[in-house]
Structure 1
Amino acid sequence: MSDNKSLTPEQLAEFVLAFFQDSMPFNQALGFQIETVGDHEVQIRMPWNDKLMGNPVHKILHGGATAAILDTVGSVVALMYGIKQLKPDEVDEFKNTLANNGTIDMRVDYLRPGKGKEFIATATVIRRGRKLAVCRMELHNEEGQHIASGTGTYLVG
């Protein structure tokens, strides 16, 4: 992408997805595969990895990995939702503020042990203002068992 040419909202959305998936070593270490599933929804898939085991006796996903995938899917959906709302003349300004975005607060409710071959995190925006977004996140395994839920507040403006 040329710095001299204005981006479209679609190009900015592609940039954000690539940034979270390909430019963050932690997300790469966890094996995140980020996908959009509609205008305002994002899902992240994470395959089982023995290095992410929190309980080796029962082969259960570590709570930190659970929190990380929920936080990431919340961050991405908050940004994607904002991008979809942009006017064409706001796209470049929004891209320039991406480095200032981040998690303000997050709560995770661990509902059952993280067992499975693959974990799928989804998120939706509950409310978004000019500077903050509140998102609801869920983590399921490949069988659809609900592992954890989260609510996050993100700085996005």
Structure 2
Amino acid sequence: MLSNDDARSWLVNVFTNLNFNKNLGLKITVCEANKAEIRFVWDDKLMGNPMQKILHGGVTASALDTVGGILAIFSRMEKMHFEDSAALIEFTKKVGTIDLRTDYLRPGRGDEFIATAQLIRSGSRVCVTRMELHNQKGDQIAFGTGTYLVG
């Protein structure tokens, strides 16, 4: 039987090594059953508007979706027991975003960005999270709500 810590470590490793997440520079900094946080630093390749030097809206939405998905998976994993890594892999194959709403509040300016997620509901098949994106000064750039299939 895999421990929750082993399952969590495996999943953090998977998220960290996804090429898309690596291209965005996403790093998981908090990973708990009720809260998740990722951070990334400004890079010109993330720019959506070169005249204003702000984040691309897709980067903002991707960061929110990623942190919401991480929280949904971890909150569900806390209630499960995996016999081995094969069972954990089968579980993660069934996870996906059902719905994502992103509200852009101000231009994405900053040197570092912090995306956080809080759990709204965790069921046996569906989880709902609320996410926020701030810069290093604490300016809120966007918030969102995500619904995720987890079972």
Same fold? TM cut 0.5: yes
TM-score with structure 2 setting the length: 0.93
Give me the whole-angstrom Cα distance separating, in 1, the residues matched to 2:12 and 2:4: 12
Question: Does residue 17 of the first structure (1) align with residue 8 of the second (2)?
Answer: no
Question: Does residue 27 of the first structure (1) align with residue 21 of the second (2)?
Answer: yes
Unmatched tracts of structure 1, length 5 or more:
1-5
For these two proteins, the number of residue pairs brought into alignment is 148
* Residue in 1 that maps onto 2:2: 7
* Residue in 1 that maps onto 2:123: 129
TM-score with structure 1 setting the length: 0.90
Q: CA RMSD in A?
A: 1.2
1:141 to 130, 135, 140: 135
How much identity, in percent, do the aligned residues show? 47
The correspondence of residues 39-118 of structure 1 with structure 2, limited to 5 A, is: 39-86=33-80, 90-92=81-83, 93-118=87-112
Q: Secondary structure at the match of 1:116?
A: coil
Unmatched tracts of structure 2, length 5 or more:
none
How far the C-alpha of 1:83 sits from its partner, in A, is 1.7
Contact persistence 1:12–1:95 (CA under 8 A): no
Give me the whole-angstrom Cα distance separating, in 2, the residues matched to 1:37 and 1:15: 12
